[in-house]
């Protein structure tokens, strides 16, 4: 059986009737918990959530349609978009032999944070089978051949047209965007923020002199964990130059970024520390709290910066 890092190496290679259903309190996301017991009843799973399971499969296991069953149900953040970052642990078994073909390490570390889209590139069947799944869910998934990327199937030793079984533990799910309560703020000459439906911000900088002091406003107040600086922070951000009103950097064109508060400019770190997951923060950073007189890359010397930051989660520590 191949294990991580072999499993991680295949990430990104180049997808029924409803029986059981539950509703997640988060975002009103309706989770289908059991689609075809006749298929998933052929799989027996023992062991605790978060630990490598013992799995027995009635062989040969062959299905024509995707099916899944939730073995445990969590209460955390749900998976509602393919852009979300997640930590998944899983074992995938060869449907013909019933033997494990590949498995993750079952270590919750920074190196195991991936977007759902990367998992779906490898196992397209995860898009439907994990929709609205939450932190704490363990899901057994019956994967027909068309729910497995052909290149990934070859790499883990599946014959053409073969089915597989995956047992997936949803260890951590990050928010797709800030989901906190809107806060009253007195702009008082500061930028204003508008948002697209996916959360991407637009920033309107007033035609006025830039503030000379660091200014931090919480636009949305989340109810998640507190940012202390002891763990890396996962966030989406957009940065603009006050003088030109031009965006010099944004994470919204890709995956959210993991920040160590000791590795960013002081004004950016100050905007994050003490905030809560789910919050959106607007910060105006004067040069002495940013890149100073020297500047960096597209940021000229003496520039006042504007950032809008969505705090999506706290990362685990990197592997030692």
Q: Check if the beta carbon of residue 21 is closer than 8 Å to that of residue 166.
A: no
In angstroms, the CA 24 to CA 108 distance is 24
Name which of 29-38, 48-57, 119-128, 233-242 the model is least confident about.
Answer: 29-38
Share of the chain above pLDDT 70, in %: 91
- CA–CA distances in Å: residue 204 to residues 57, 90, 169, 230, 244: 58, 44, 42, 33, 12
Q: Rounded to 5 degrees, what angle do the CA atoms 73, 180, 223 make?
A: 60
What would the mean pLDDT of 213-220 be, rounded to a whole number? Answer: 96
Question: Is residue 113 scored above 70 in pLDDT?
Answer: yes
Q: How confident is the model at residue 277, as a pLDDT?
A: 98
Q: How confident is the model at residue 163, as a pLDDT?
A: 97
In angstroms, the CA 142 to CA 167 distance is 9
Q: How confident is the model at residue 289, as a pLDDT?
A: 96
Q: How confident is the model at residue 62, as a pLDDT?
A: 96
Question: Is residue 254 scored above 70 in pLDDT?
Answer: yes
| CATH number listed for the domain at residues 2-173 | 3.10.50.40
Question: Is residue 109 scored above 90 in pLDDT?
Answer: no
In angstroms, the CA 239 to CA 297 distance is 13
Residue 194, token pair as written in the block: 């508008």
- Which runs of E-coded beta strand occur in the chain? 2-3, 20-23, 30-34, 43-46, 54-57, 67-72, 85-94, 100-103, 114-115, 138-143, 164-173, 181-182, 192-195, 201-204, 215-221, 233-241, 247-250, 257-259, 280-285, 305-314
Mean pLDDT of the chain: 91
What would the mean pLDDT of 285-313 be, rounded to a whole number? Answer: 96
What would the mean pLDDT of 180-185 be, rounded to a whole number? Answer: 91
Q: Check if the beta carbon of residue 160 is closer than 8 Å to that of residue 151.
A: no
| CATH number listed for the domain at residues 181-314 | 3.10.50.40
Question: Is residue 88 scored above 60 in pLDDT?
Answer: yes
HSE toward the beta carbon, residue 252, CA cutoff 13 A: 22
Q: What are the extents of the domains in the chain?
A: 2-173, 181-314
115 three-class SS? strand
Residue 284's beta-bridge partner residues? 215, 306
Question: Is residue 320 scored above 80 in pLDDT?
Answer: no
Question: Is residue 100 scored above 90 in pLDDT?
Answer: yes
Q: Rounded to 5 degrees, what angle do the CA atoms 211, 213, 214 make?
A: 105
State phi, psi for 108 to the nearest 5 degrees.
Answer: -85, 95
Q: How confident is the model at residue 186, as a pLDDT?
A: 75
Query: Are 2-173 and 181-314 in the same CATH fold?
Result: yes
**Cβ burial, residue 6 (10 Å; 0-12/13-18/19+):** middle
Name which of 14-28, 200-214, 279-293, 299-313 the model is least confident about.
Answer: 14-28
Give the contacts of 75 (CB within 8 A, at least 6 positions apart).
134, 135, 136
Share of the chain above pLDDT 90, in %: 85
């Amino acid at each position: 059986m191949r294990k991580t890092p072999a499993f991680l190496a295949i990430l990104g290679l180049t997808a029924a009737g409803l029986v059981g259903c539950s509703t997640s309190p988060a975002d009103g996301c309706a989770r289908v918990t059991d689609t075809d017991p006749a298929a998933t009843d052929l799989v027996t799973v023992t062991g605790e959530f978060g630990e490598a399971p013992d799995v027995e499969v009635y062989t040969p296991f062959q299905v024509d349609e995707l099916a899944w069953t939730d073995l445990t149900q969590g209460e955390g953040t749900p998976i509602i978009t393919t852009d979300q970052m997640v930590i998944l642990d899983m074992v995938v078994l060869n449907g013909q032999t019933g033997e494990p073909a590949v498995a993750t390490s079952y270590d919750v570390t920074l190196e195991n944070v991936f977007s759902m889209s990367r998992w779906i590139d490898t196992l397209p069947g995860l898009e439907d089978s994990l929709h609205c799944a939450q932190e704490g869910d363990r899901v057994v998934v019956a994967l027909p051949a068309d729910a497995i990327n052909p290149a990934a199937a070859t790499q883990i030793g599946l014959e053409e047209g073969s089915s597989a079984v995956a047992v997936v533990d949803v260890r951590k799910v990050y928010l797709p965007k800030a989901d906190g309560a809107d806060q009253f703020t007195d702009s008082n000459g500061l930028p204003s923020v508008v948002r697209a439906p996916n959360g991407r911000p637009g920033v309107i900088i007033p035609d006025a002199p830039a503030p000379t002091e660091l200014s931090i406003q919480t636009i949305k107040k989340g109810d998640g964990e507190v940012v202390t600086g002891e763990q890396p922070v996962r966030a989406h951000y957009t940065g603009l130059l006050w003088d030109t009103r031009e965006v010099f950097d944004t994470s919204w064109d890709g995956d959210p970024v993991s920040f160590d508060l000791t590795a960013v400019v002081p004004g950016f770190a100050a905007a994050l520390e003490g905030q809560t997951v789910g919050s959106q923060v607007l910060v105006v950073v004067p040069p002495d709290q940013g890149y100073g007189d020297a500047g960096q890359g597209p940021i000229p010397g003496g520039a006042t910066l504007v950032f809008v930051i969505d705090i999506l989660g706290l990362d685990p520590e990197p592997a030692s």
